[in-house]
């Protein structure tokens, strides 16, 4: 399936810095992240707990979908989506190749 450029422009990708990270009780793969977007902070529930320890994510810059409609996962509201790629080796979070201001637009 393809989308046109106008549809793609609706997706707001931003750099976010992980402030806190913890396991979601009752789940092996969900982590509850608190991220900083510069002028805003958000909670994101991410299915990366099998690949990443919460402590190792604190301070890491990640790319998120910032304008995704909030969704409840295991009773917790997720206000965005962390982007990651996966292959036969495992999961890899997408992040900038240098430090950049939190909230910066990706595009």
At 50-84, the pLDDT tens digits run 999 999 999 999 999 999 999 999 999 999 999 99
- 82's tokens: 């962390």
Percent of the chain exceeding pLDDT 70 equals 100
CATH number of 11-99: 2.40.50.140
Angle at 39 between CA 105 and CA 98, to 5 degrees: 45
- 107's tokens: 């595009």
The dihedral through the CA atoms of 34, 35, 36, 37 has a sign that is negative
- 53's tokens: 């320890």
User: Could you tell me the pLDDT band of residue 46, with boundaries at 50, 70 and 90?
Assistant: very high
């Amino acid at each position: 399936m393809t989308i046109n450029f106008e549809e793609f422009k609706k997706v707001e990708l931003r750099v976010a810095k992980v402030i806190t990270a913890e396991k979601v009780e009752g789940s092996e793969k969900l982590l509850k992240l608190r991220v900083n977007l510069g002028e805003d902070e958000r909670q994101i529930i991410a299915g990366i707990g099998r690949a990443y320890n919460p402590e190792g994510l604190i301070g890491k810059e990640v790319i998120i979908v910032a304008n995704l409609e909030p969704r409840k996962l295991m009773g917790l509201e997720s206000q965005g989506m962390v982007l990651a790629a996966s292959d036969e080796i495992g999961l890899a979070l997408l992040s900038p190749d240098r430090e950049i201001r939190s909230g910066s637009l990706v595009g």
